[in-house]
Amino acid sequence: MGNVIVTIARHFGSGGKTVGEMLAKDLGINCYEKQIIKMASEESGINEALFNQADEKLKRTPLFFGKSKQPEYTGKLIAPDSDEFVSDHNLFNYQAKVIRELAERESCVIIGRAADFVLKDHPNVVSVFVHASKEYCVQQAVERRAYTGRDVEKFVEKTDKYRSDFYRYYTGQEWTDARNYDLCLNSERLGFEGTMEAIEAYIKVRFGKLPNE
């Protein structure tokens, strides 16, 4: 069967990260999210702060590039002697390199970072989008103290806009397009446990067994 990699994109507050962590624990495999930035920094020699700054810049900038026929991401790394070595796209290229290396090395769960697009040609990828109603996501953000400000709804909307912009900026595709994923699961209706079980059921149907079997 080879390595099975589950990529999870998610609405903020939908519990996608929690589901991913639960899945990884249940299957006995690693779950990666922010660790990818640290690993990309070590791989490239570029200060980790620059990766975080690129994300913050994207959050602050009103980006709208429209639908591009050609995605921004090509996978080609820019040489260290180039002025573009620490450009946003090269920083993403190094994150993508780490994601591809993880996929070759081990079964794992990868949260965010447009990993579904980076690994779209990998034969053993299960790409998942976890979503829920805005009301549910706001409620979860409050209950889990993911945001302590007064205008939680605005924060949830802003975070999802950033994730959508990030995806479009680096892939040229739409983050919420169901055609980009194997599974689109409503965690509000399934619950976190049920969402995890639905992913495992899909893996078992598709590959005949789970990675830990």
Give 149-194 as a DSSP string: SS-HHHHHHHHHHHHHHHHHHHHSS-TT-GGG-SEEEEHHHHHHHH
pLDDT of res. 64: 46
Q: For position 125, which CATH number holds?
A: 3.40.50.300
The interaxial angle of helices 35-44 and 48-60, nearest 10 deg, is 120
In a domain, 127, yes or no: yes
Q: Compare 198 and 76 and report the one with higher pLDDT.
A: 198
User: What are the start-end ranges of the E strands in the chain?
Assistant: 5-10, 30-32, 108-111, 125-131, 183-186
pLDDT of res. 73: 64
Residue type, 128: V
In a domain, 132, yes or no: yes
Confidence of residue 146 (pLDDT cuts 50, 70, 90): low
pLDDT of res. 149: 64
d(C-alpha 47, C-alpha 141), whole Å: 31
Structure tokens at 42: 């070590």
Q: Are 110 and 32 in contact (CB under 8 A)?
A: yes
Neighbours of 145 (CB within 10 A): 7
d(C-alpha 153, C-alpha 139), whole Å: 9
In a domain, 175, yes or no: yes
In a domain, 212, yes or no: no
For residue range 194-208, what is the model confidence (pLDDT) as tens digits?
999 999 999 999 999
In a domain, 213, yes or no: no
Is residue 69's pLDDT more than 50?
no
Rounded to the nearest integer, the mean pLDDT of the chain is 89
Range of the domain at 52: 5-207
- As for how many domains the chain has, the answer is 1
Structure tokens at 146: 């993911």
DSSP lists the bridge partners of residue 31 as 109
pTM equals 0.89
d(C-alpha 181, C-alpha 16), whole Å: 14
Structure tokens at 157: 């909307």
